[in-house]
Structure 1
Amino acid sequence: MLQFDGWKRFLIWSICAIGLLLALPNGFYTRVEQHNDAVIAIDLGAETAENQALAAQWPYWLPSSLVNLGLDLRGGAHLLAEVQVEDVYASRMDAIWPEVRDALRPKRNEVGTIRLQPSPVDELHVKIGDETGMPLALKVVRGLARPVQTLTGVGAKDIDVTLDGDLLIIKLSEAERLASDERTVQQSLEIVRRRIDEVGTREPTIQRQGSQRILIQVPGIGSASELKEIIGTTAQLTFNPV
């Protein structure tokens, strides 16, 4: 039988006691999590009676760190959000039209009337009154193009401008679409992450799936509807069941 010196036995029991003390909060997971969330909310200025009551559920002098149990052990909610890049294209086209109109207005004597025509959401169709002025109109509008702000689009412009009869057809270039998609997805990721982080220490999983989707998993959330409420309204996102 092994024999240990007294100081060794004391050290072993002390380590075990400390381990049990540190693990204690996980035996009261919901209570401690509510305490932690309330403490964070109070620190941020939301010192309501409800938050004070939740904060008082767990003694401040006890450890309050929790092990992330994840969805498989603890349950929770997950959503698959799809980024609506087409809406971004439409917004860009809406923003480009005033620039096109203002650029062509001083050239009306050469190009005639300038009228916006019905078009797909990701294009801009502008009717030029005098077809003889089409080359000039094309040159003026192409002059509005800007360099694509991305390393992969070096040398490319953000819009393509073509002629079709008496119509100027303006649309985002392929390089600009790719850059816009990337910016939109990254912005959506940050929005989702920030809004979920605001509700407390839930240790969510937020990751990109494919080119236009975001997988959101949050332990401890009761339902997908609750998770949607936390995320709130985000213009470029739609939610799909997983």
Structure 2
Amino acid sequence: MKNLSWRLIVIAAVIVAAVIYVIPTFQPGVWPHKKINLGLDLQGGMHLVLEVDADKAVENTIERMGQELRQMLKKERIRTLGVERVETVKLTVKVAGEDDIRRFDELLDEEFRDLRIADRTVRENVLEIVLDLPDEETDHIRKLAVGQALETIRNRIDQFGVSEPDIRIQGERRILIQLPGIKDTQRAKELIGKTALLEFKLLDEEHDVDAALNGNIPASSEILYETKEDPSTRRVQKIPFLVKKRTSLTGAYLTDARVQIDSQYNEPYVSITFDKKGARLFERITAENVKKRLAIVLDDNVYSAPVIQEKIAGGEARITGNFTTEEARDLAIVLRAGALPAPVQILEERTVGPSLGSDSIRMGLLSMCMGGILVVLFMAVYYKGSGVVADFALMLNILLIAGGLAGFGATLTLPGIAGIILTIGMAVDANVLIFERIREEMNLGKTPRAAVDAGYDRATLTILDANVTTLIAALVLFQFGTGPVKGFAVTLSLGVVASLFTALVLARAIFDYFLISRKVRTISI
């Protein structure tokens, strides 16, 4: 009796917990718990296929190594006739003088071993050398760019607040994204596709902007624009800036980006914080360029170009640009998540409407109800009173699956509904094995209580073997499957665990209650 009491308490606790987790799905706001998440195929949403421009990542790597080479040559005082990037992924360097050529070769061997010598000629004591990356390193950079793009996009979407997104690599350079429940698709696309390369560049105040607009652009400078929109007329104005190509500081040193409200103008801005190294670089840049203008550039767009009034210590700065609160929040998200290592292009875009999801849910629930009714009728007719016990366990089995989906924050998909329908049939399978064993024991002349004990003892091991192997297969599907396969595996796993609990614990407790507490002398089976 004491053992039975404890089992009844555990059963009641499990049922109450399942009810608590299920209620918000049907009555939102009643309990502080999330409701069951619906997948893209049920509630609608957004389907995107992106392609990562991995070749751009190789170009960026070559450009960065070219800047490092220029700095090292300047530091070692090796005179060169030029360091230029050619054919997008190659560097050409010209060095004059035997002593400078020798020192350049030593520098190349010590500091730039990753660069491959594609061509080398010496004419009239002038070395012209072409450098590039080995094929293996190029392939590694491309693969790494796709992986980094995947993680960056996942971080952005997580901060955007999408429940249960499906993000995975498809092929070599493509990324598949499914965002259930997304309504503002344009904002989502802008958030996902923004490169978010933050750069701080000094303005070229030595040359005239108008002359540069007419084609007279200095070799070390470029023209970038700041876009402003008049809130009253909605007209867009582009303001040109002549900025130096060399980047003084990048967003790679950022540790945080948050939306703040300017107390003076009551407008939102983005406050950014650098790490220790970035703070030192920012302090040095501002100290060396007091009274000069520093442009804050994001994806080749100038957000602002303030005048440096004094040295800025502490590693903090702000980005202003007449933002709305939503624009400032999205900018903070992409800065926190980091820049994409290469641009991405949207190859495929589909919006799944909620009507498709409603039809799928309705047909899925209809099939589940029809299957459940047939199983319930069969068990009640064939096993009589014991079949009613199995039917009660079946109803609770479905409740436990729903509670598990809500409790673990899993997503219910259309294949997941198929998994629940499959579980309905599997849920009574264990009871069938037990009931047949009990019948055999009663035919041998045992008492009802002895028959129930023997039936459960002999059938339990078989039930565990069958369900554990199914659970292992479901877990493998969940681990290595994607999309619909994973949705099916989730409900199948929950269904197996729930059916084991209802068959071996719940149904057994009901039999023990009637045979021990109520001292029933016969079993309807």
Give the TM-score band, short-chain normalised. 0.5 to 0.7
1:151 is aligned to: none
Residue 78 of structure 1 corresponds to which residue in structure 2? 47
Contact 2:119 2:130 in 1 (8 A): yes
Counterpart amino acid of residue 178 in structure 2 = Q
For 1:18 and 1:98, the matched residues in 2 are separated by 61
Give the aligned partner of residue 187 of structure 1. Answer: 148
C-alpha distance in 2, partners of 1:203/1:82?
A: 22
Residue aligning to 1:103: 73
Which one of the candidate residues 94, 98, 108 is aligned to 1:141?
A: 108
User: Residue type matched to 1:208 in 2?
Assistant: I
TM-superposed CA distance for 1:73, in Å, is 1.1
Q: Residue 237 of structure 1 is aligned with which of 304, 318, 343? A: 343
Look up the equivalent residue of 1:127 and give its one-letter code. K
CA RMSD in angstroms comes to 3.6
* Cα distance between partner residues in 2 of 1:12 and 1:114: 83
**C-alpha distance in 1 between matches for 2:68 and 2:48:** 39
Give the Cα–Cα distance (whole angstroms) in 2 for the partners of residues 107 and 200 of structure 1. 53
Matched, 1:200 2:161: yes
Residue 162 of structure 1: which of 118, 125, 131 is its match?
A: 118
Query: Residue 65 in 1 paired to residue 31 in 2?
Result: no
Q: Which residue of 1 aligns with 2:22?
A: 23
Distance 1:227 1:83 in 2: 17
| Residues 204 and 219, structure 1, Cα contact 8 Å, conserved in 2 | yes
Question: How much has 1:171 moved relative to structure 2?
Answer: 1.2
Q: Give the alignment partner of residue 127 of structure 1, picking from 89, 94, 115.
A: 94
CA distance in 1, matches of 2:191, 2:164: 14
After TM superposition, the score normalised by the length of structure 1 is: 0.62
Q: Distance in 2 between matches of 1:107 and 1:13?
A: 81
Alignment length (residue pairs): 189
Shift of residue 188, structure 1, vs aligned partner: 1.6
Partner AA of 2:116 in structure 1:
D
Gaps of 5+ in 2: 1-9, 123-127, 196-339, 350-525
Using the alignment, how far apart are the partners of 1:74 and 1:65 within structure 2? 16
Query: What amino acid maps onto 1:195 in structure 2?
Result: R
The CA deviation at 1:224 is 4.0
- Deviations 1:34-89 (Å, cap 9, x if unpaired)? xxxxxxxxxxxxxxxxxxxxxxxx24xx1533333211111110212222222222
1:93 correspondence with 2:62: yes
Alpha-carbon distance, 1:207 to partner: 0.7
Q: Distance in 2 between matches of 1:201 and 1:118?
A: 42
Distance in structure 2 (CA, Å) of the matches to 1:118 and 1:12: 71
The offset of 1:19, in angstroms, is 5.0
2:169–2:176 Cα contact (<8 Å) kept: yes
Counterpart contact for 1:126–1:169, Cα < 8 Å: yes
Q: How many Å apart are 1:220 and its aligned residue? A: 0.3
Q: List per-residue Cα deviations over 1:198-224 (Å, max 9, x = no partner).
A: 133511011111222211111001264
Any idea what SS the aligned residue of 1:143 has?
Answer: helix
Distance 1:12 1:143, change over 3 A: closer
Deviations 1:141-183 (A, max 9, x none): 243234xxxxxxxxxxx32123244531111222322332233
Contact 2:162 2:182 in 1 (8 A): no
Distance 1:131 1:119 in 2: 25
**More deviation, 82-91/137-146:** 137-146
Counterparts of 2:73 and 2:164, CA distance in 1: 51
Cα distance change of structure 1 residues 19 and 141 upon mapping to structure 2, 3 Å threshold: closer
Q: Is residue 221 from structure 1 mapped to residue 328 from structure 2 by the alignment?
A: no
* Equivalent position SS for 1:180: helix
- Find the residue that maps to 1:99 and give its secondary structure: helix
Match of 1:38 in 2: none
Q: Is the 8 A contact 1:142 1:160 kept in 2?
A: no
Aligned partner of residue 187 in structure 1, secondary structure: helix
Alpha-carbon separation, structure 2, partners of 1:179 and 1:187: 12
Contact 1:204–1:218 under 8 Å retained in 2: yes
Contact conserved, 2:47 with 2:179, CA < 8 A, in 1? yes
CA distance in 1, matches of 2:140, 2:32: 46
**Higher relative contact order (Cα pairs below 8 Å, separated by 6+ residues):** 1
